[in-house]
Amino acid sequence: MQRYAVFGSPIGHSQSPRIHAAFAKQCGIAMNYDAIEAGHADFAAKLAASGVRGANVTLPLKEDAFALCMGNASTRAQRAGAANTLIRDGDSWRGDNTDGSGLVRDLTERHGLDLRERRVLLLGAGGAARGVAPALLDAGIHSLYVANRTLARAEALADALGEPGRVHPRSLDDLARLGEFDLLINATSATRGGSLPTLPMALAGRRSAAVDLSYGEAAVPFLAWARAAGCTQALDGLGMLVEQAAESFLLWHGLRPETEAVYAELRARND
Ligand code: ATR
């Protein structure tokens, strides 16, 4: 039986085993997909000992995974400086990052958003923000404002993206001066701790859409703010989760699974 797994910490509530089991059943592939608890100190050893042919990697290990496959990483993993998908290549690993394309696919195909020429606000400049920023630029947005509590980190992300005409680093303190955005993305981990930074209502209007990259309880504060600020669409990260998984599945098995039924089942379990 082919073995696959997701590594991270905490990993107990990961939806990935359920998603990949559904994809495998749909595509007639026999495989095991486990969730393996691992941190910075023991990730490499646990990955090697697991015998998996492919792995997903989640918090806090995406940079560690990238370091493991540095010489053999896709362009999008290199641009993110992080890998969420590992593919066994002989004795070593090939790495990719499907988070950004998963987000863009969810927004454009499932939710019907047209990202071209849009003015986009990305809140946060950590691993989650880095994972999605390149794909947003590739989707043809007009401009990306990266607003972070620590300005230096927003500046570092903007530098790494290498498009100074389109990417603008800002401090959270400057939000009141930025005007209205077409799309607002919460990629901070602030709300996982329950505290949303103060966001001016003027950032959003009736034509704005908002998405939180997390789901469940963690997405509630930002999405409540977005609705209060008048956003027509306030989306959580469940769709992105399913789409990034489908893209990983494609990399491992050469088949792109149909995602709608899996998304609907997860949505029903989460609402
Ligand atoms: P992740 O992989 O989830 O992105 P991370 O790399 O630790 O985790 O990044 C966390 C992000 O959330 C950062 O942008 C962080 O801001 P700083 O760079 O200033 O630390 C942001 N964040 C975390 N807690 C926050 C809070 N209470 N208010 C505002 N931003 C916060």
For residue 43, name the pLDDT band (cuts at 50, 70, 90).
Answer: very high
Q: If DSSP codes are grouped into helix, strand and coil, which group holds residue 58? A: coil
What is the C-alpha to C-alpha distance for residues 121 and 104, in angstroms, rounded to an integer?
15
Residue nearest to atom 27 of ligand 1 (CA): 190
Of 59, 91, 90, 62, which is closest to residue 76 (Cα–Cα)? 62
Q: Is 103 helix (H, G, I), strand (E, B) or coil?
A: helix
Percent of the chain with pLDDT over 90: 93
Tell me, using a 6 A CB cutoff, whether residue 227 lines ligand 1.
no
Length of the chain: 271
How much is the pLDDT for 271? 81
Residue 77: pLDDT above 90?
A: yes
> What CATH homologous superfamily does 100-236 map to?
NAD(P)-binding Rossmann-like Domain (3.40.50.720)
Can you tell me the mean pLDDT for 107-112? Answer: 98
Q: Please confirm, yes or no, whether 46 is among the known catalytic residues.
A: no
Q: Are strands 92-96 and 85-89 parallel, antiparallel or unpaired?
A: antiparallel
Q: Does the fold of domain 100-236 match that of domain 2-97+242-270? A: yes
- Percent helix, strand, coil in the chain (nearest 5)? 45, 20, 35
**Contact by Cβ (8 Å): 224, 250:** no
Beta strands in 126-231 (DSSP E): 143-148, 167-171, 183-186, 209-212
Residues of each annotated binding site for shikimate: 14-16, 58, 84, 99, 215, 244
Q: Is 237 in the pocket of ligand 1 (CB under 6 A)?
A: no
Output the six-digit token pair for 54.
């492919």
Residue 22 confidence (pLDDT) above 80: yes
The CATH T-level fold of domain 2-97+242-270 is: Rossmann fold (3.40.50)
User: Which residue from 144, 138, 135 is spatially nearest to 167, judged by alpha carbons?
Assistant: 144
Q: How confident is the model at residue 119 (pLDDT cuts 50, 70, 90)?
A: very high
* CA–CA–CA angle 38, 27, 23 (5° rounding): 35
Distance between CA atoms of 59 and 128, rounded to whole angstroms? 9
Secondary structure (3-state) at 30: coil
Per-residue pLDDT tens for 251-267?
999 999 999 999 999 99
Choose the catalytic residue: 5, 33, 35, 62.
62
Sorted by where each begins, the domain ranges of the chain are 2-97+242-270, 100-236
Q: For position 190, what pLDDT does the model report?
A: 86
User: If you take atom 5 of ligand 1, which residue's CA is the nearest one?
Assistant: 126
Average pLDDT over residues 143-149: 98
Would you say the CB of residue 171 lies under 6 angstroms from ligand 1? no
Give the pLDDT confidence of 191-218 residue by residue, as tens digits.
777 688 999 999 999 999 999 999 999 9
